[in-house]
Structure 1
Amino acid sequence: MSIHDIARADHACLIVHGPDQPGLVAAVTALITRNDANIVTLDQYSDNPAGGAFFQRVVFHRTDLSAALPAIEADLEKTLGPYEMSWRLTDQSIPKRMAVLASTSDHCLLDLLWRHRRGELSVTIPMVISNHTTTAEDVRSFGVPFFHVPSRPGPDKSAAEAEILRLLDGNVDFVVLARYMQILSEDFIAKLGVPVINIHHSFLPAFIGAGPYKKAKERGVKLVGATCHYVTADLDEGPIIEQDVVRVTHADTAADLQRRGADVERAVLSRAVAWHAEDRVIRHGNHTIVF
C-alpha cells in the first residue's frame, strides 16, 4: 500500500467518470485551482477518446479542507453537470470503516488485522463477524470487537443474515469477506447497501467445491493464484479488483499448494482493500479501473 496516502490532513480525493469529451481535464484542474487547492496526483484513462468513457482520480491539498468542502462540492455540481459526469469527493483524513466477515480459515483475517495495526491500511475496523468462534481470541487481541453469528445448516440463512445486517447497519463503509464460507443472498446484498469485497482461489470455476487444492494437485496444475472481486448477486462474477499467481511444480504436495495459495490470497486481498480504501478503484459495468 502507498503509505503516503493514508489519513492525510487537508487532502481530498476526487473521482470523476462519464462520457469522454473535450475540455474535461481543463475543467477539473481549473476548478481545483480556483478553489485554492493544489494537485498532488492526477491519473486518468479513456477507453475510447471518440465517444468512449473517461475516468479520473485526482488527489489535491487544500488548507482548511473540511471548511472548504461544501463550496468545492457546489462548484463540482455546477461545473461537471453540463458534461453529464458522475463524481465523488472524499476527505482523505477520514479512514473508511471496514467490517470483516470470516469463518474458520484465519490467514486473510489475521493478515488484515496485522496490516491495520501497522498502519498499512487506511481503515478502521469496527467489528469482525464470524459464523464460528475459533478466531475470537485472536481478533480480540488486536482490540477489535468480535461477534459470533452462527449459520444453521440448510439453505435458509435469513436469520443469520438479519443479525449481520443489524450489526452492520450504519456502522460500516464496506465489508470484506476474508474466506467467509457462506453465500450471501441477493436480498442481503441489496439491504446492506455498501460495497462487499471477496477473496477466493483462482481455481474457480474449474475446481468448485471442497478440496480445491487436492483437485488441483490431481490435475497437475503449474500455477496457483487468487482473485479479489466485488460481490454481486451473481456468485463469483463481480468486477475483479486484483489477481495474482505463483508457479508450482509436480513436486509440490496438495498441502504445499494450499500454503502457497494462502500466501497469494493474503497479498491479493490486502492490495485490493488498500486500493478500495484509497478510492483507487472505479467500477464500470462488470469491470474496474484501478489507478
Structure 2
Amino acid sequence: MEPVVRWTGHEAGLLRQALRKNVKDFAAEVGVSPRQLTTWEKRGSSIRLQPDNQTSLDTVLARADMPVQQRFAKSLTERAAAGPDERAEQLLRTGAPAIRHEADGKLMVQVDEGIYLAGPDGTPDWLDTYLIDQFPTTNADYARFVAATGHRPPQHWPGGTCLASLRDHPVVWVTWHDATAYATWSGKALPSARQWEKAARGPKGRIYPWGNEPTAAKCNVAEAGIGMTTPVDRYQSGVSPYGVVDLCGNAWEWCSTESEPGRFELKGSAFTSPFERVTPSLHNAANATMRDNDTGFRCVTAVPNSDDRPG
C-alpha cells in the first residue's frame, strides 16, 4: 500500500483500529506515549503530526499484513466518500431531475445540446441532447437482463446467480458484445466516446468530473487499496456537472466508438488503475471480446418527447 501523504490524528486512529490494538500497545509500536496518542485521536484532522512521527506511522503501515492494510484503506475511502462535499450536495439537490427509463428502470440524466471542450487540448466540439445513465449498470440491473433474455451471466456469479453483496456494484466480466446486448434489450445504446467525455467533463472541459484538482479520494482507484469494485453510489463527491456519478474509477466503461476494426474505446479507469488513468480525455481501447474483472458499462438514449417520457 502507498504511504499516507499526510498523517493526522484521524489517520493514526484509523490505523490503530485496523490493527485492532489498544491505545497502550499501538502507542508503544509507534514510539509515543499513550497520552500523546490519545491527544492525536481526540484532535483528529486538526493536528498534523511531526515528520518523525509520520515516518514511524509509515513504517507501521508498511509492515502490516494485507488484511490490516485493506481495513485501513477501506476506512480511509469510506470517510472520503461519505464526507461532506458542498458542490456535490448542491448539484444533486438542485440539478435537473433524473428520468427513470421505462425498460430497465435506471435513472438517467440529460446532457444538453451544445459545444463542449473535448480532448486534452480542449478542442470545441458539438453534440445533440441525450440522456445517460446516472450510475453504471449494476449486477442487479444485469441480472434482470439475464433473467429476461437467457443471456450468459458473468463468470463471477456463483452458479450463474449474482451475489447479494454485489448487487449495487458495477457489473464486470462483460465483453463489448455483452454490453451491447444489454443496451439493445433496454432500448438504449452504448455511449460514444464523445458522449461519455462530455457527460464527465461538462461543457467547459474540466479535467475531472469534480473539477481540476487531482483528488484520488473521489473515486475507487488503485491508490485506495480496496482491490475490488465498490457500490456505484459511494463516490457521490465525484459527481459530474450533469449529475452523473461514478464516471472515474471502479470499472472501465465500454463505449460504442470503434478505434480500429474489432476494438472499442474504454473510458473512466477502474479500481485496478492508478489515479493518473482516470482523466476522462484519456484514450484507451480493447478488443470487443475482452472481458475482465474491472470492465463494465452504462448506456445512453435519445431524449423522449415530453408527452411520452417514461415516469
TM-score, normalisation: structure 2: 0.24
RCO (CA 8 Å, sep 6+): is it higher in 1 or 2? 2
TM-score, normalisation: structure 1: 0.26
